[in-house]
């Protein structure tokens, strides 16, 4: 899995409008064929039409992420933001296919509502069969 930070997130961080210590962050799964654009995908409303459909154990709007950790990485000259793993249990049918997931700040409202933090590319379409548990582990973005 590879991740890409959104340019709007960098801008909002520089303007002190994202607070990893107190804001609520969510993660959503994207529908087959979605392609992330770090330049134009600014907020949840820019990608919500391409979110995986509600059903079979997936709820649109995504899961709330917990356990945020912010770490300075002087070796690689970046800051690592990570969260606990998140899961969805497929019920009544499969979850997916999905090419990746978007993390967004559900607290931000102005000037950009629900700022997209970044995209996790699954390096191919993933589908969780009925009864299985879809897990995204080691959730990270680098800023």
61-115 per-position pLDDT tens digit: 999 999 999 999 999 998 999 999 999 999 999 999 999 999 999 997 778 899 9
What span, in angstroms and rounded, lies between the C-alpha atoms of 112 and 17? 9
Domain encompassing residue 110: 2-142
Lowest mean pLDDT among 18-32, 33-47, 60-74, 108-122: 108-122
Lookup: tokens for 15: 């303007």
DSSP state of 113: T
Lookup: tokens for 48: 């919500």
118, pLDDT greater than 90: yes
Going by pLDDT thresholds of 50, 70 and 90, the confidence category of residue 4 is confident
Average pLDDT over residues 31-36: 96
Total domain count for the chain? 1
Which residues, other chains included, contact 59 with Cβ-Cβ below 8 Å and sequence gap of 6+? none
What pLDDT shows up at residue 112?
84
1, pLDDT greater than 60: no
What pLDDT shows up at residue 111?
83
* DSSP sequence for 57-89: TB-TT-EEP---EEEEETTTTEEEEEE--EEEE
Is residue 9 within 8 A of residue 143, CB to CB? The reply is yes
Residue 87 phi, psi (nearest 5) = -140, 155
The pTM of the full predicted model, rounded to 2 decimals, is 0.94
Is residue 47 within 8 A of residue 116, CB to CB? The reply is yes
What pLDDT shows up at residue 110?
76
| C-alpha dihedral, 76 to 67 to 106 to 53, nearest 10° | 100
Which three-class secondary structure state does DSSP give residue 25?
Answer: strand
What pLDDT shows up at residue 2?
59
Lookup: tokens for 85: 């793993």
Average pLDDT over residues 23-39: 97
Mean pLDDT of the chain: 94
């Amino acid at each position: 899995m590879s991740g890409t930070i959104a340019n709007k997130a960098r801008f909002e961080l520089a303007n002190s409008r994202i607070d990893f210590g107190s804001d609520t962050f969510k993660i959503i799964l994207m529908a087959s064929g979605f392609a992330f654009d770090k330049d134009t995908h600014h907020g949840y409303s820019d990608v919500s039409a391409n979110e995986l459909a509600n059903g079979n154990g997936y709820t649109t709007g995504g899961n709330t992420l917990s356990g945020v950790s912010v770490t300075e990485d002087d070796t690689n000259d970046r800051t690592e933001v990570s969260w606990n793993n998140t899961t969805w249990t497929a019920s009544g049918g499969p979850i997916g296919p999905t090419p990746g997931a978007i993390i967004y700040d559900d607290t931000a409202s102005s000037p950009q509502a629900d700022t997209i933090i970044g995209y996790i590319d699954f390096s191919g379409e993933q589908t969780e069969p009925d009864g299985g548990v879809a897990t995204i582990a080691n959730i990270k973005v680098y800023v």
